[in-house]
Structure 1
Amino acid sequence: MRHPPRSGLLLVGAAVALVGTAIAPTVTASGATPACTVEYSVTNQWDAGFQGSVKITNNMASVSSWSLTFDFAQGQEVTQGWNAKWSQSGTSVTAANESWNGSLASGASVSAGFLASWSGSNTAPTGFKLNGTACNVDGEPTPTDPPPTDPPPTGEAPKLHVSGNKLVDASGATRRMLGVNRSGGEFMCVQGYGIFDGPVDDAAVEAIADWKANTVRIPLNEECWLGLSNIKPEYGGANYIAAVKDLVAKVEAHGMTPLVELHWSYGQYTGNSAGCSDVHATCQKPMPDAQYTPSFWASVASTFKDDPAVAFDLFNEPYPDRATSTTTQAWTCWRDGGTCPGISYEVAGMQDLVDAVRGTGAKNLILAGGLAYSNDLSQWLTYKPSDPTGNLVAAYHVYNFNTCASESCWNSTLAPVAAQVPLVAGEIGENTCSHGFVDTVMKWFDDRNLSYLGWTWNTWDCSSGPSLISGYDGTPTSYGIGLRDHLRALNG
């Protein structure tokens, strides 16, 4: 998906990456019920920054808007946040409601999170006030015992592999990949803002599992993973890899399949349908580059080759067909790479990437999307890369504005592919802020026992994202409610 580059997070200082695993004490109020209570917690902490959250409970009369204020005592500075409009003046921090979460009934709660910097000491803030009324008035918050880093795993992610045209687990039972995309890892780092867009702590992953999703697709950026010189070191290389591994582990702990995917890559392309003129990995390129992408996949495969529950999606949305003059040239470029007409950089073809993964000894499941931003699989079988493990899957993307977005096209181009290999719609979505189109997609795929993943689990505008959620607690948009209710009906 060619999506908004950011989600409108407030930036008031130098952003910090969510890469640590240290847990600070949770702070809560105690005693008689006050007018309002605030539970403050630090869920991740590292050398210069931390991730915090507040849960606000209103015990007064209902309000149509809210504003929480509190004071930091040790020079901490909020750098970005979500589920509220965050600002800071001196030591005083304000979190005001968003347009969609302003109503707060008596007894109701709302949560919001933020990233912040710190040095010296990271003591809990004081003086919590909701709309000017003091909270936790029976005494300032006092630390409780630190929580464990994560709750015990709630399930085990299946170890998927190909059997004929089906995906099966280790017991041989047929499985489908049904879930969501979790965007952010492809753009936050390369733009210098952090690693992920919004929280990726256990509560945030649990919210995805609560939709009864069984798969989470995680878009990545090759320059960030490889730690190239244009990437801020705090967000790239070892820090980036550690953050991705941590998210993968959390996804698996909730019994879901992590599908790691290369979204943005290196190479300058200024031809037809160019997303940007930048040589760096700041947009979707027509094909992977031979200079870095094989190294990226060799590194990713080496990282996860001992974990067969992790699946690999080689390249988000190839579109060499927009650069070349013939379909044959486009499909040849797609498979074989090299010097492709209309593309100025040396291309890594799908066969190169399969070879890079398998060269590490990794036998993990591999997905490969077709032409036209993965919307065209018409000659996928003809140009299918060779995989010595036989563990290759066809990937497809479909939105209401794509060329192949009708049942007649699916019947003519997808059905023949699905008859021979597993087919996964790695992205489905629509820009209508409704779900009529994805309902049609899901029914077609359900009828054929195929897989699909909704784009995207991010709090963007559903008409431009499109976004499944309005809050990282899993609150769906009017578009996302279609996928949520359908997954719960299938897997509830």
Structure 2
Amino acid sequence: MKTSDTIHRRRLRLGAIAAAAVTALTAGLIGASGAQAAQGCEVDYRVTGQWSDGFNANVEVTNLGEPVDTWDLEWTWADGQRVTHMWNAEDKSKAASAKASSLGYNASLATGGSTSFGFSGSWSGANTEPAEFRLNGRLCDGTVDEPPAYDTAMEQVAAMQPGWNVGNTLDALGGETGWGNPLITEELLQTVKAEGYNSLRLPVTWDENLGPAPDYTIDPAWLDRVAEVTDMALANDLQVLLNIHHDSWMWLSAMPTDHDGALAKYEAIWTQIAERFKDYPAELSFESINEPQFTGTEPAEGDVLVDELNVAFHEIVRGSGGNNEDRLLVMPTLVTSADQPQLDALKATIDSLDDPMIAATVHMYGPWPFSVNIAGGTTYSEQVEQEITSTFERVHATFVADDIPVIIGEWGVLGYDWTRPIVPSQQYGELLKFFEGMMFQARDKQMTLMLWDAGSYLNRDTLEWRDPLIQSYMDSGLTTRSGTASFDSIYVEKVGTITDESLTLHRNGLEFEGLWQGSTELAEGADYTVTGDTLTLTAAALTRLAGDRAYGTNATIEARFSDGLPWQIHIISYDTPELSDASGTTSSFAIPTEFNGDRIATMEAKYADGTFAGPHDWTSYKEFWATYRPDYPAGSIGLTADFFNAVREGEAVTLTFHFWGGGTVDYTVTKTGTTVTGTSA
């Protein structure tokens, strides 16, 4: 065995470690004060001995910034090395992801202070050195990270783009995990930051953690936990927007009938929040209340109450001293609506306060029929696009054009829910067009988007994005547009003659550059033609792509444009779906279905006289999932108890299922007591 004191030596200067260390972090930096501190460090990594399948190494960490009280150092190996034993630090490594945590005697590092630890490791093939190190979750590059400064509210809000909501967690009833999400961890926040998000909206519901009137004292443990998550986010370069969340409907909605009591409770909460966080850096901002709403009031009355809350919030925070004197404050409209009367009411409030560090916030989930798939809102139609465009234009004209920044505090699609086996409610390509359009509008109208994510986008157990393509559209949309088409699928019958099929290109200002199947470019003329914005695939190309025409997707091709993401086009073989007779109960009824490669677009429900059946009797087209639930793997279509509860006793209801392949299939159901019978047409 040959050893050498300097077989490998690499000196990495590690800067920008942790900013904003205030109280404690779960597994990282703990600062001595609430102010954000400049941080930086360097690491001296040496392989001190190496043999055929193992090696020893020494690591020295030097703190270049403000003092720290605990530390974690993380790195990865590209060639599969592993830590087998560690000394002078606690080994928290997992496979090729190595992690060393401080011990009690070496946890504190003064400015310029150093500490060392060593380890034994295994290797095979190569023993290359780590490319980078992270201290307390932060990539370090040898610089000392100074806290950023914002000259204006517009500048700060722009720096928040894009933002991410850690939804259904600290806002959940029954505790942080009460609605099925795991505890917020530093690893979660590091994943969000690594994806390119620059801010975290931290919804918090306070009611379950309050003492009695008149003080309404916040449980210290709960306030500590909120501070802990805030600290972790700030330490990982995420701005934080902290609010009062579900309290808006839990008790504040009673303000019209209990004005003084509700207002006193609201003011008590904000007084305590303001005091706890008054020395936090500018990267923490406050939002007065989420979706304010009031029982039994007209919108104009609600606007007056929202004004009163926003003014009280402003007075409390500004009067609490410290960094709260010029902290960014975010104020909502009534129910965070983007309707013009509500925008005007909030604008009047902001004008009256004459404070340059105020931002407005509204929420945007797209037009409701499209967002949940009801009333035939199955596609990202011109009408849907125009409604979104006009909403952004209104908000821009009211606020941004007058130098008042706007945060879209929540956005997404209401029907996109990871708890369902069928995600989303909308046809996939139509959903992608929605994300592409929203990202463009926000960039064009200079607004910051904060995605509402209660677990549907980022899997918080695996820390992986559930749908990387959707995430790619959001990433790409920060800087450019992507081309799309009128549809993302071409349906060909399983048996019969295949003919030419056409789609309309939506270039979005880009140049169309052709079609590809993987790395193979399709031949213009033989495989497709383009006339204006009409893209036509030839029968010969479709026959080749469809192959043996097995049910489902036989091939996927890409329409590529001069920028942005390519548009996927799926070649799908299908036959008309077949529905069979069934019986069941109002709480458990499913139609046996052979989908034959097709999928449901929507369902209509009518009585024999033509009137509309089921919930939302103003439309024949029922809401996806709330009334009908396709299960493609199981081969069934379930009808919900909510649907049957709104169906008349003993009257036959004709269901018309619309499929994306273009066909329709009728089916009849009849409710007698709790018994349901179903017959195919």
What is the TM-score when the length of structure 2 is the normalising length? 0.41
Q: Is the 8 A contact 1:425 1:452 kept in 2?
A: yes
Matches within 5 A, 1:326-341: 326-336=298-308
Matches within 5 A, 1:349-388: 349-360=309-320, 362-372=325-335, 378-383=341-346, 384-385=348-349, 386-388=352-354
Q: Deviation of residue 448 (structure 1)?
A: 2.8
**How far apart, in 2, do the equivalents of 1:364 and 1:271 lie?**
24
**How far apart, in 2, do the equivalents of 1:269 and 1:393 lie?**
25
Q: Is the 8 A contact 1:42 1:51 kept in 2?
A: no
Q: Deviation of residue 407 (structure 1)?
A: 4.2
SS in 2 for 1:487: coil
Look up the equivalent residue of 2:345 and give its one-letter code: T
Equivalent of 1:396 in 358, 362, 378: 362
Q: Which residue of 2 aligns with 1:84?
A: none
What is the TM-score when the length of structure 1 is the normalising length? 0.54
Looking at secondary structure, tell me which structure has more strand per residue.
2
Q: Is the 8 A contact 1:302 1:360 kept in 2?
A: yes
Q: Is the 8 A contact 2:243 2:290 kept in 1?
A: no
Q: Which residue of 1 aligns with 2:440?
A: 443
Matches within 5 A, 1:17-416: 18-20=28-30, 51=72, 53=74, 55-58=76-79, 95=94, 111=97, 134-135=122-123, 151-152=142-143, 157=148, 159-161=150-152, 167=154, 177-181=160-164, 183=166, 186=170, 191=176, 196-199=184-187, 207=194, 211=196, 215-219=198-202, 221=204, 230=219, 232=221, 236-237=223-224, 241=227, 244=230, 247-248=233-234, 251=237, 258-262=239-243, 264=245, 269=250, 289-290=265-266, 292-299=268-275, 302-304=278-280, 309-310=282-283, 312-315=285-288, 317-321=290-294, 323-336=295-308, 349-360=309-320, 362-372=325-335, 378-383=341-346, 384-385=348-349, 386-399=352-365, 406-410=384-388, 414-416=392-394
**How far apart, in 1, do the equivalents of 2:291 and 2:60 lie?**
42
Look up the equivalent residue of 2:186 and give its one-letter code: G
Q: Which residue of 2 aligns with 1:479?
A: 470
Q: Deviation of residue 137 (structure 1)?
A: 10
Deviations 1:247-299 (A, max 9, x none): 43653xxxx8x243215476992899xxxxxxxxxxxxx99942543214533
**How far apart, in 2, do the equivalents of 1:259 and 1:481 lie?**
23
**How has the CA–CA distance of structure 1 residues 248 and 389 changed in structure 2, closer, same or farther, with 3 Å as cutoff?**
same
**How has the CA–CA distance of structure 1 residues 445 and 236 changed in structure 2, closer, same or farther, with 3 Å as cutoff?**
closer
Q: Is the 8 A contact 1:222 1:296 kept in 2?
A: no
**How has the CA–CA distance of structure 1 residues 410 and 401 changed in structure 2, closer, same or farther, with 3 Å as cutoff?**
closer
Q: Deviation of residue 471 (structure 1)?
A: 4.9
**How far apart, in 2, do the equivalents of 1:354 and 1:404 lie?**
36
**How has the CA–CA distance of structure 1 residues 415 and 206 changed in structure 2, closer, same or farther, with 3 Å as cutoff?**
closer
Q: Deviation of residue 367 (structure 1)?
A: 1.8
Look up the equivalent residue of 2:469 and give its one-letter code: S
**How far apart, in 2, do the equivalents of 1:46 and 1:287 lie?**
41
Q: Which residue of 2 aligns with 1:104?
A: none
Look up the equivalent residue of 2:470 and give its one-letter code: Y
Deviations 1:404-430 (A, max 9, x none): 964444455553342131332133334
Q: Deviation of residue 360 (structure 1)?
A: 3.7
Q: Deviation of residue 395 (structure 1)?
A: 0.8
**How has the CA–CA distance of structure 1 residues 356 and 437 changed in structure 2, closer, same or farther, with 3 Å as cutoff?**
same
- Residue ranges of structure 1 left out of the alignment (5+ in a row): 1-14, 61-67, 79-92, 97-109, 129-133, 273-285, 337-348
Q: Deviation of residue 373 (structure 1)?
A: 5.7
Look up the equivalent residue of 2:303 and give its one-letter code: W
Q: Deviation of residue 482 (structure 1)?
A: 1.3
**How has the CA–CA distance of structure 1 residues 230 and 36 changed in structure 2, closer, same or farther, with 3 Å as cutoff?**
farther
Q: Deviation of residue 135 (structure 1)?
A: 3.4
SS in 2 for 1:380: helix
Deviations 1:442-485 (A, max 9, x none): 222333333323445xxx85xx246699758x998322111212
Q: Is the 8 A contact 2:86 2:119 kept in 1?
A: yes
**How far apart, in 2, do the equivalents of 1:417 and 1:250 lie?**
31
Q: Is the 8 A contact 2:267 2:312 kept in 1?
A: no
Q: Is the 8 A contact 1:261 1:312 kept in 2?
A: yes
SS in 2 for 1:368: strand
Higher RCO, 1 vs 2 (CA within 8 Å, ≥6 residues apart): 1
Q: Is the 8 A contact 2:288 2:329 kept in 1?
A: no
Matches within 5 A, 1:419-430: 419-422=397-400, 423-430=406-413
Look up the equivalent residue of 1:269 and give its one-letter code: M
**How has the CA–CA distance of structure 1 residues 376 and 368 changed in structure 2, closer, same or farther, with 3 Å as cutoff?**
farther
| Aligned residue-pair number | 377
**How has the CA–CA distance of structure 1 residues 296 and 414 changed in structure 2, closer, same or farther, with 3 Å as cutoff?**
farther
Q: Deviation of residue 24 (structure 1)?
A: 11
Q: Which residue of 2 aligns with 1:100?
A: none
**How far apart, in 2, do the equivalents of 1:364 and 1:158 lie?**
12
Look up the equivalent residue of 1:486 and give its one-letter code: G
Look up the equivalent residue of 1:312 and give its one-letter code: S
SS in 2 for 1:396: strand
Q: Deviation of residue 219 (structure 1)?
A: 1.3
Q: Is the 8 A contact 1:367 1:393 kept in 2?
A: yes
